[in-house]
Amino acid sequence: MTLNSLFQIIFYIVVLLLLAKPLGSFMAKVYQGEHTFLDRVLGPVERFIYRVSGVKADEDMNWKTYAVAVILFNILGLLAVYAVQRLQVFLPLNPQGLGAITPDSSWNTAVSFASNTNWQGYGGEVTMSYLTQMLSLNVQNFVSAATGMAVLVALIRGFVRHTSKGIGNFWVDLTRSTLYILLPLSIVLALALVSQGVVQTFSEYKTVVLVQPVTDANGNVVTKQVLAVGPAASQIAIKQLGTNGGGFFNVNSAHPFENSTPFSNSLEMLSILLIPAALCYTFGKMVGDARQGWAILITMTIIFVAFIGLAVWSEQAGNPAFTKMGIDQVQTNVNPGGNMEGKETRFGIANSALWAAVTTAASNGSVNAMHDSFMPLGGLVPMFLMQLGEIIFGGVGSGLYGMLAFVIVAVFISGLMVGRTPEYLGKKIEAYEMKMASLMILIPILLAKVGTAIAVVTAAGLATIYNTGGPHGFSEVLYAFSSAANNNGSAFAGLGANNPFYNTALGICMFFARYWLIVPVLAIAGSLVQKKKVPASSGTLPTHTPLFIVWLIGVIMIVGALSFIPALALGPIVEHLMVFK
């Protein structure tokens, strides 16, 4: 790794950790209903929303009511997105006159955006009208993120409250997440992106004269090019902040109108992990012990840094095949060196590899480089980060509640090892919590593995694997299902995924990965909230110490490795061995 890469990565992590506390404590205030500086402006808006929609803001829901509200709201959102896609041809704000989207693609995209996965089987600029992008996709960008945050907050209340039933009000949590956190941050970020050249317009696509004419495959001279534009900046902001990742344009954040400069690149990367990192602090603050939040944040950061290191090293080391072709891969002041296949020159090795780790650590999934072109181990990094369960930062809200499932398992085993019925934050961890936490860990693994298995033995699945004759095609399928089954949405690409088989199969994975996890999370919250709080003593296992962090990292890595090493061995690992034979 070069000094330059090292400096960029360190700078990134330092800024991220510095922002965690102020934003985290602000969010804690929002969720605890305390006074914030935005109250004067947003308070009336909030009350207006409740009045219009008939929400009783002081009504406390038990976990079942909360879960029903979450699911109903999400299914309605899913149906709306489906309907808008199917009907966009009749709706306004469609300057290109784009037609209705196929049912399987519409289903896939609807689930994808409702479940905060934002897997994209379609290409934005050739498929979706401005209205579809704004009204259905972008609305889901906000509310799917807010759903994750609400569910997390409900779980935190399970730890905070005791001997009661209520875990909060979903409608209030949803509204406050959107209004006080996502919306203001998005406005600021959108303006900053526009300043860097990210487009924001309702005008139709622009036809421009090329500076230098080119000839196409048929030998015709091409002098003009159509530039797709649209209301992109507003969508990019929440796409990153809400760990959505669904790009406005097909090539996502590699597109200059979506991610124009190294500065916009840094801003976008920062905003991907900003809320997931800050929520750790919110958690600590709300449970009354900030150290608990820091411990989790440090756990995430350590795993994250290790994988960034692997990715950057692997990409910078270059490709032996290129060496044979006489391509210069040595890094100098003017040559980024390493494996530049599929990478934007304005981002280079470090920022492409860093982005790959950031976007898959969080369940974001936006890309600024072609992951399919990464070196085998470089590609293993984003794949494995997803397979860990999207808990290294993870999605907004969902990352932390997924991580808490691992914390519960880690606490359980370590609690036994010190000879006590395990407890976390004063709540006893018993059979019910174990059952639900096991489900939360099990379901994504099951979906990813079974989905991949079906794809690689059925004709429909095999039909669009174009990389035959080696382990790479297998990696592509494994990556796609790992992405969908963990609600990431990142694509390795290379695989033809916009067809009925993959649209349906990946859609099913996304759906169950999201909602079959939310229900157990809320069930844990409902169980914990009824329990007494056990006061800590020296016999209580401290869960904020370096020792516990090491143990938690061990549990996460062991579960992840044991679940996926056989599959990875047949994909990136064997590919790596073959490349470096």
Q: Name the residues that contact another protein, by CB under 8 A.
A: 409, 412-421, 426, 429-431, 433-435, 438-439, 441-442, 445-446, 449-450, 452-454, 456-457, 462, 468-471, 473-474, 532-535, 537-542, 545, 547-548, 551, 554, 558-559, 561-563, 565-567, 569-570, 573-574, 577-578, 581
How many CB atoms are closer than 10 A to CB 23?
A: 18
Nearer to another protein, 22 or 470 (CB): 470
- The three-state DSSP-derived secondary structure of 143-201 is HHHHHHHHHHHHHHHHHHCCCCCCCCCHHHHHHHHHHHHHHHHHHHHHHHHHHCCCCCC
Nearer to another protein, 192 or 570 (CB): 570
The two tokens of residue 32 are 């605890």
Minimal distance in Å, beta carbon 520 to another protein? 12
Nearer to another protein, 45 or 453 (CB): 453
C-beta separation of 575 from 472 below 8 A = yes
| Secondary structure of residue 347 in the 3-state scheme | coil
* 224 strand-pairing partners: 209
Residue among 376, 411, 407, 369 nearest 391 (CA):
407
Minimal distance in Å, beta carbon 309 to another protein? 21
CA 254 from centroid of its chain's CA atoms = 17
Nearer to another protein, 39 or 289 (CB): 289
Minimal distance in Å, beta carbon 440 to another protein? 10
Minimal distance in Å, beta carbon 569 to another protein? 5
Tell me the C-alpha distance between 394 and 388, whole Å: 10
Minimal distance in Å, beta carbon 273 to another protein? 28
Q: Which residues, at least 6 apart from 185, have a Cβ–Cβ distance to it below 8 Å?
A: 237, 241, 271, 274, 275
Minimal distance in Å, beta carbon 537 to another protein? 3
Nearer to another protein, 287 or 409 (CB): 409
Cα torsion through 86, 478, 317, 306, rounded to 10? 100
Nearer to another protein, 70 or 497 (CB): 497
Nearer to another protein, 29 or 449 (CB): 449
Minimal distance in Å, beta carbon 407 to another protein? 14
Nearer to another protein, 326 or 419 (CB): 419
Minimal distance in Å, beta carbon 502 to another protein? 16
Minimal distance in Å, beta carbon 451 to another protein? 9
* 423 strand-pairing partners: 428
Nearer to another protein, 202 or 580 (CB): 580
The CA distances from residue 243 to 17, 55, 275, 489, 528, in Å, are: 17, 27, 9, 10, 28
- Phi, psi dihedral angles at 464 (to 5 degrees): -110, 20
Q: Going by DSSP bridges, is the β-strand pair 206-215/221-227 parallel, antiparallel, or unpaired? A: antiparallel
Nearer to another protein, 284 or 471 (CB): 471
| Secondary structure of residue 229 in the 3-state scheme | coil
Minimal distance in Å, beta carbon 418 to another protein? 4
Tell the residue number behind the tokens 């009504």, with chain if given: 59
- Residue 318 falls in which region: left (phi positive, over 0), alpha (psi -120 to 50) or beta: left
CA 400 from centroid of its chain's CA atoms = 12
Minimal distance in Å, beta carbon 29 to another protein? 28
Nearer to another protein, 157 or 239 (CB): 157
Q: Which residues, at least 6 apart from 134, have a Cβ–Cβ distance to it below 8 Å?
A: 93, 231, 234, 235
Nearer to another protein, 174 or 407 (CB): 407
Tell me the C-alpha distance between 121 and 106, whole Å: 9
Q: Which long-range contacts (CB under 8 A, 24 or more apart) does 261-265 make?
A: 261/196, 261/197, 261/346, 262/346, 262/347, 262/351, 263/196, 264/192, 264/193, 264/196, 264/197, 264/198, 265/346, 265/347, 265/351, 265/355, 265/368
How many CB atoms are closer than 10 A to CB 106?
A: 25
Minimal distance in Å, beta carbon 421 to another protein? 5
